[in-house]
Amino acid sequence: MKYIIGLLTTIFLLLSYTTPFAKEVYPKFTVKGFGTFGASGTDTDRLGFRSDIKQTSGVTEDWAIDTDSRMGLQLDVDINDSWHAMAQWVARNSTGDFFEQNLDWAFLRWRPRNDLDIRAGRLGIDTFMLSEYRNVGYAYLWTRAPHEFYAGLPVYHFDGVDIAKKYSVNDGTLTVKFFGGRSFTQVPTNVSGSAEQNLVLAGGKLAYEYGNWNARISYNYSQTNNELAPLQPLLDALNRPDINSVWPDAQYFVPYLATKNQSVHFSSMGLAYDDGIWLTQMEASYTDTNINLYPSVANAYLSMGRRFGKVTLYSLFGISESIHNPVKVSNPLMPIPDVVQLRNVTDQLINTNGVDEKSISLGLRWDVSQNIALKTQWSHYWLGNDGVSLWLPAAAGPTPDTVNVWSVGMDFVF
């Protein structure tokens, strides 16, 4: 880690001595970055608010800065006219290996012609409008990517290839993109520590940009390659003959906790309009899975904003509803405490993974200078009975029906 920081500093110092001259001199190195410094808090101590499910800690009545603050550093290398390399690393609140999991981009790009890009290496996932740049707060209006839509996605990147081709269609630009590869993501679990998730994925998108309009549809198929290791002791216990003698249904619940060789289908569409004064954006998606720990879910959001000079006022409405049937977990024949506890943990794991959330937000973005924006946002969440898995349980007992979240922050690019 120290070595990498030292290396980056050296590169940066070397680069700052280059003189401004526009003749393309190869290889050309550029260092740039982005960041958000933000604080947020809620009006409950019973749930922790986090900006996505890869975060291990959330904010409560006690305000904190680690839900929204992050900082990214990017190195670009123009090797020649058609070859380019890039690496981007983001310091943020996340689960797992601090260096490896936060390296979001590291790829080599080949541009054999003006309208064709082929990239290989570590890449952002282009499944949704913001999924390639949801860390870059300066690039969007809100304090954070819409919660109902983006908080359920722990995967930020994959290792593989993508191919994008652009076409001129009726004065607009049509982009067709395909991607495929593998991803390794460490996710927090309620059981014990983090779990490792291996996926094979492939997908594509179709995007059309015309004047003030931007529209896209996309699809992504993922297949899980492993069982979640922290669940293994539980699975072993459910399979034990002595446990099945007191609780005959125990083994029946094993498949409900399985994550290996399961499929996940993400389908989405998005539309954005921005005429310089008014801006609106919406996305809708459906995630179809047969994993009980990550049930099928329908998400959507709609945002509208208006600019008044350097100040933009906005509103945002979001909804996320899991679509799954509760599984009735039977009781052991005899109330042996250990077996009852096993039963309860099983019940909790199978039945409390849903999301049942709606929210409305009002906010303000103020572009105080050409690379700094100040933001403040108030969000009011309605949490239904079907699950609060986007949040962190901060205390045992019933969860609140409504939560207010307040945030202030500063986004910058350099």
Does position 72 interact with other proteins (CB under 8 A)? The reply is yes
Contacts of residue 158, Cβ cutoff 8 Å, sequence gap at least 6: 122, 123, 125, 179, 181, 182, 183, 199, 201
**Alpha carbons 155 and 178: distance in angstroms, whole number:** 18
Q: Closer CB to other proteins, residue 167 or residue 382?
A: 167
Binding test (CB under 8 A) with other proteins, winner from 53, 59, 75, 123: 123
In the structure encoding, which two tokens stand for residue 344, read together?
């309860």
Do you find a cis peptide bond into 27, omega within 30 degrees of 0? yes
Q: Which of 4, 6, 26, 32 binds other proteins (CB under 8 A)?
A: 32
Q: Does 158 bind other proteins (CB under 8 A)?
A: no
CA dist 222 to 130, 179, 316, Å? 19, 12, 29
- Position 390, amino acid: L
Q: How far is the CB of 339 from other proteins (least distance, A)?
A: 51
Annotate 79-102 with DSSP letters as a single string. Answer: -SSSEEEEEEEEEES-SS-TTTTT
Angle at 344 between CA 343 and CA 345, to 5 degrees: 95
**Residue 277 vs 360, nearer CB to other proteins:** 277
92 binds other proteins (CB under 8 A): no
Check binding of 68 to other proteins (CB under 8 A). no
Per-residue x/- marks for other proteins, 341-380, CB under 8 A? --------------------------x--xx-x-------
Output 58 or 124, the one with its CB closest to other proteins: 124
* Site map 273..302 versus other proteins, x via CB under 8 A: -x-x--------------------------
Cβ contact 40:50 at 8 Å: no
**Of the residues 39, 254, 291, 413, which one makes contact with other proteins according to CB under 8 A:** 413
Alpha carbons 105 and 367: distance in angstroms, whole number: 27
By CB under 8 A, what part of segment 172-211 binds other proteins? 173, 209
Q: Measured in whole angstroms, how far is the alpha carbon of residue 216 from the centre of its chain?
A: 18
Pairing status of strand 355-369 against strand 297-308: unpaired
Q: Is 153 in the site for other proteins (CB under 8 A)?
A: no
Kindly list the residues in this chain that would bind other proteins in the complex (CB under 8 A).
20-24, 30, 32, 34, 72, 74, 76, 78, 81, 86, 88, 105, 107, 109, 114, 117, 119, 123-124, 132-133, 135-136, 138-140, 171, 173, 209, 274, 276, 308-311, 367, 370-371, 373, 413
